[in-house]
Amino acid sequence: VQWVNYLQTWNVFHLGAYMRNSLVIGVASVFLTRMIGVPASYVIARYHFRLKQFVYFLFVGGLAVPRALLVIPIFLLMRDLSLINKTSGIILIYVVMALPFTILFLVPFFSSLPSELEDAAAVDGANEFQTVTRVMLPLATPGLITIAILNFIDTWNEFLLAYVLLLDREKHTVSIGLYNLYASMRWSQNWVGMFAGVVMIVMPILLVYVVFSRRIVSGITMGAVKG
């Protein structure tokens, strides 16, 4: 192993700064997605109200629209909101883009939880908020961890929207950094540096999957069936 290639990629080509930007954006996006997606999914799954199916399909319908078709409308919207080239703007977009899949994943998961536990908590004197936070959400931990990991991986790998909305080099994410590194290595022919960058970018996602692979599989299978 030639460690000088990793050091050069980290320092000279600023890959460390790009990874830090992606980490901040990814963690913030996942946190906000959970804050919005978990309550919305729980209400859709456990409560009965008018237009329930309409609200559900309104969220999930976002999966049917390719991201490439949304680039120009998103850019115009972010320009009008003065959020171009701002970290908060790309975080907001990532949260909105992650909500359809988050709700699609969590609604059947919450539906599979036994309703008898809610009745038992009510008998013990728990109010509705305590029932959700102390009984139902702990049972849904595998699903919550799974969707958080999947959302983070999607944010970490996303390139197109970040490339369009983040203009300053200091705010670029790791996917843009890898693209810039590739463009630079094409002329310098320093391919070992580029491959070192690829390894550095893949390793965090690979480690996350290795550590949480069982939780990911269990979360997906537990939400696959109801009962």
Q: What confidence category does residue 184 fall into, taking pLDDT thresholds of 50, 70 and 90?
A: confident
pLDDT in tens, 65-123: 888 889 999 999 999 999 999 999 999 999 999 999 999 999 988 888 888 888 888 88
Q: What is the pLDDT of residue 78?
A: 94
User: 123, 195 in Cβ contact below 8 A?
Assistant: no
Q: What is the pLDDT of residue 220?
A: 55
pLDDT in tens, 190-200: 677 778 888 88
- Report CA-CA distances (Å) from 113 to 27, 59, 139, 222: 27, 22, 8, 10
DSSP 168: S
Per-position b or e across 2-31, b if 16+ CB within 10 A of its CB: eeebbebbbeebbbebbbebbbebbebbbe
Q: What is the pLDDT of residue 217?
A: 59
Q: What is the pLDDT of residue 79?
A: 93
Q: What is the pLDDT of residue 227?
A: 42
User: 46, 110 in Cβ contact below 8 A?
Assistant: yes
- The mean-pLDDT minimum among 6-10, 55-59, 75-79, 185-189 falls in 185-189
Average pLDDT value over all residues in the chain: 85
Q: What is the pLDDT of residue 225?
A: 46
pLDDT in tens, 155-168: 998 999 999 999 88
User: 173, 18 in Cβ contact below 8 A?
Assistant: yes
pLDDT in tens, 17-70: 888 999 999 999 999 999 999 999 999 988 888 888 899 999 888 888 888 889
Q: What is the pLDDT of residue 210?
A: 78
Q: Specify the pTM.
A: 0.84
